[in-house]
Amino acid sequence: MIESHQSNFLLVFSLKYSISWRLLNLFSERPLVNWNAFRYQDYRILWLILMTSGMATWLRILCFSQWLLDETGSAFFVGLIGIVQLVVQFPSTLWAGTLADRKNRKFLLGISHGITLTTLGILAILNFNGVLTPSLIYVGIAITAGSQMLGSPSRAALIPEIFPEKEMMAAASTDTASQNLAAILGPLLFALIAVNFGLTEVFFVCVLLTLPGTIGPLALSISGNSKETGQISKGQIAETIEGLNYVRKHPILPGLFLLDAAITTASFYREILPVIALGLFAAGASATGLLGSANSAGAIIGGFVALMLSRARAKGMVVLYASLAYGALLLAFGFANSLVMGLILIGLLGAADSVTVAVRVTTVMLTTPDQMRGRAFALMFLAAQTANNIGTIWVGAWAGIIGAPNTMIMGGVISIMMTLIILLAWEPIRKYRSED
């Protein structure tokens, strides 16, 4: 059973991700349309996989962390999770992107979830029998972190097989909103099961939630093959380098990835919300939970705003304006002197971020040939995850040195400056327009 004194820890880990805000209706050159991604049967299957695996991911993260805290009583051993994941995810993401461009993506998606399901099932049985150890938990963390990365580029690369080109951003926006919904439901489900039953039951529920991702890809009607699947392989390393060179020479993607990495590194507040709550509002765990919930709720709303902007052709300017809005909101957040104002601003921050995520994903889909999409998405995920980890260290360190309010203000200034630099220096992004 979870002890009451561990509630702060649960709140911290029950936070994450984010995304988008509305400001950008001004930039739509077409009427806003009501569009429903769920009329495509294959997307309904992928959406089910997204939701169940997203909730399972949160259950898994929280269960691993809570188990280590219960067993060792040390935050240090919990913190090692981030190091294990970073070490595993960097090479596995690059490898997964190359595989997604050479193997059947449906097969890879099912295999990745199957590995996760098997690993969690073994851990559940070991915990049930009282023989689970911290070393085995870290092994499980490493395997599931790698298997998650194995499937992510494949799922992202399957989306363009389902939708017409003009509906790509609508699909990406629906995904964004759904991911944030899973980020809310997963921690709530964890708390419900862990408090009323125990961590062993959490492991078993994880297994059940991973099952749709294991068998669901078999029901997809799309082929799942890249246009170059079956051609003679150049070798894993050569093909990975080929993907790196493709993205490096791309007129738009390096600028978008650089912009996201710079802003995220300067402002990644989600993992240290307890510090923000204390530093800005002299509040504790309850404010932390409220700030996290407001951020996630804003992210969901932002996903729907991005959906309304799916017909906007000037997508390069949409992401730049959204990034400017994010920087301005972060700056204002640093000056917030009441929790109510803080909740409003952090919700809008989540919304602004959502627009940038949706446009970035859409741009990869629209400007990358099918045989390169897996590697392009892998590099996008890799840049984002690396920035998240470095950003947590950066923001946490500066919050300790100059205080949380000044850190947020500094992050806002850096975000605005970086966006203006990209706006002025990266003409292809400024002029990028999707086809009607």
Q: Is the pLDDT of residue 16 over 70?
A: no
CA dihedral 295, 60, 128, 193 (to 10 degrees): 30
- Domain annotation covers residue 180: yes
Tokens for 395, please give them: 């923001």
- Confirm if 132 and 184 have CB atoms less than 8 A apart: no
Distance CA 385, CA 3 (A): 31
- Domain annotation covers residue 436: no
Distance, first Cα to last Cα, the chain? 55
pLDDT of residue 287: 77
CA angle 106, 247, 228 (to 5 degrees): 40
Q: Is the pLDDT of residue 181 over 90?
A: no
- Domain annotation covers residue 104: yes
Q: Is the pLDDT of residue 81 over 90?
A: no
Which stretch of DSSP H or E encloses residue 214?
A: helix 199-215
DSSP secondary-structure letter at 338? Answer: S
Domain holding 243, by residue range, is 4-8+14-431
**Residue 50 — pLDDT band, cuts 50, 70, 90?**
very high
- Domain annotation covers residue 303: yes
Tokens for 231, please give them: 């051609």
| pTM for the structure as a whole | 0.72
What's the CATH number where 414 sits? 1.20.1250.20
Alpha helices in 101-133 (DSSP H): 105-128
Distance CA 407, CA 404 (A): 5
- Domain annotation covers residue 125: yes
- Domain annotation covers residue 302: yes
- Domain annotation covers residue 320: yes
Query: What are the pLDDT digits (tens) for 285-341?
Result: 667 767 877 888 888 888 888 877 777 778 889 999 999 999 999 999 999 989 999
- Confirm if 302 and 354 have CB atoms less than 8 A apart: yes
Distance of CA 107 to the CA centre of its chain: 22
Please report where in the chains the tokens 């850096």 appear, as a residue. Answer: 414
- Domain annotation covers residue 156: yes
Count: domains in the chain = 1
Tokens for 160, please give them: 């363009």
DSSP secondary-structure letter at 233? Answer: P
